[in-house]
Amino acid sequence: MPELPEMQAVAERLDAALRGGHLTRVDALHFTALKTVVPPESLFALPIDGVGRRGKYLVFGFEGGHRMLVHCSQGGRLDLEAPPKTTKPRGSLVRFFFTRAPAGPADGDPSADAAEVALLLREYGTERKAGWWVLAPGDDGPMERLGPEATSEEFEQFLLTADDRRRIHTLLRDQRTVAGIGRGYADDALWTAELSPYATLASLNPERRRALVDAIRAVLAGALEGERTRTGALGEAKLGQRFLVHGHYGEPCPRCGETLRHVSYESHEVVYCAHCQTGGKVLADRRMSRLLK
Ligand SMILES: [Zn+2]
């Protein structure tokens, strides 16, 4: 569930903590988590240039262009341990050990007192889709398939001009179309733009398209501002406290007060306000109708 705002803010905190430091050791706690064949030992001698983000990937940059990626997927969480622990909590996938830069802590560093810190990647549930990659210089690995960033000019142009006939909710979650948005901010952006989750991009007039661009930017910027007040990594079981409507099915719409509705799918649910987004129309919940037959 971590999406662009969560991953961007944690990248900024890790950058403050680890820039100029070194990766010193990796404890693989689950055999499926490493997705590449390049051994992490090749990174140990190289200073960390910085920690950034692309889509929902955390990108550790090393001197010489080597990179290490971490992806949380749906249930992935990150614990920053200062000092490092040796415990193996449920769902543990990998623990990365770092030494910090000798220059001392930077501003905003969440682990200012420890010389050595660790980052534990673990995953709730049983999916085991979270993982990490070690990339040689020039290799983009799984980032090669990513579309433009959600707040980029390129994606703005796509939203303003493309004749895409998929539901907007679907295209927003397709990382090949746009990188960084998942089901949470897709719900919030459509609610903010007062658009039906079943609307297609092709059906929107220029004003509605502009409203969608503005809504996506506002929702992501607001969430990022909130995420920047979080400390540590992303260890909390629930990360979505900052959603406007996602996960708030059954509660009053923050705009009009009507009860928020939802449509359930196998893997996710879509939350919307019928009054604000669908002209009062209640969207068919196929899963529910199947159950009632
Ligand atoms: Zn409403």
What spacing in Å lies between the alpha carbon of 181 and ligand 1's midpoint?
Answer: 22
Centre of ligand 1 from the C-alpha of residue 174, in Å: 26
What is the pTM (predicted TM-score) of this model?
A: 0.92
Domain ranges of the chain: 4-145, 153-292
127-147: per-residue pLDDT in tens? Answer: 778 999 999 999 999 999 999
Please tell me the distance between residue 271's alpha carbon and the centre of ligand 1 in angstroms: 11
173 within 8 A of 109, measured Cβ to Cβ: no
In the reported structure, the alpha carbon of residue 278 is separated from the centroid of ligand 1 by a whole-number distance in angstroms of 10
Note the CATH number of domain 4-145: 3.20.190.10
**pLDDT range class, residue 106, cuts 50, 70, 90:** low
Report the pLDDT value the prediction gives residue 293, as an integer from 0 to 100.
47
CA of 253 to the centre of ligand 1 (A): 5
CA atoms within 13 A on the CB side of 256: 14
pLDDT at 110 over 60: no
Compute, in angstroms, the gap from residue 281 CA to the centroid of ligand 1: 12
Answer for the pair 32, 133: CB distance below 8 angstroms, yes or no. Answer: no
Which CATH code, of 3.60.21.10, 2.30.29.30, 1.10.8.50, 1.10.10.60, is assigned to 153-292? 1.10.8.50
Dump pLDDT digits (tens) for 112-126: 556 899 999 999 877
Q: How remote is the CA of residue 189 from the centroid of ligand 1, in Å?
A: 13
Rounded to 5 degrees, what are φ and ψ at 132?
-145, 155
Query: What is the Å distance from ligand 1's center to 43 Cα?
Result: 51
Give me ligand 1 centre to Cα 245, in Å. 10
Bridge pairing between strands 76-81 and 116-123: antiparallel
- Cα(280) to centroid(ligand 1), Å: 10
pLDDT in tens, 175-228: 999 999 999 999 999 999 999 999 999 999 999 999 999 999 999 999 999 999
Strands across the sheet containing 57-62: 48-54, 57-62, 67-71, 131-135
Q: Are 200 and 164 in contact (CB under 8 A)?
A: yes
Residue count (the chain): 293
Ligand 1 centroid–CA 105 distance in Å is 46
What sections of the chain are H helices per DSSP? 4-18, 153-161, 168-173, 183-192, 206-227, 274-277, 286-292
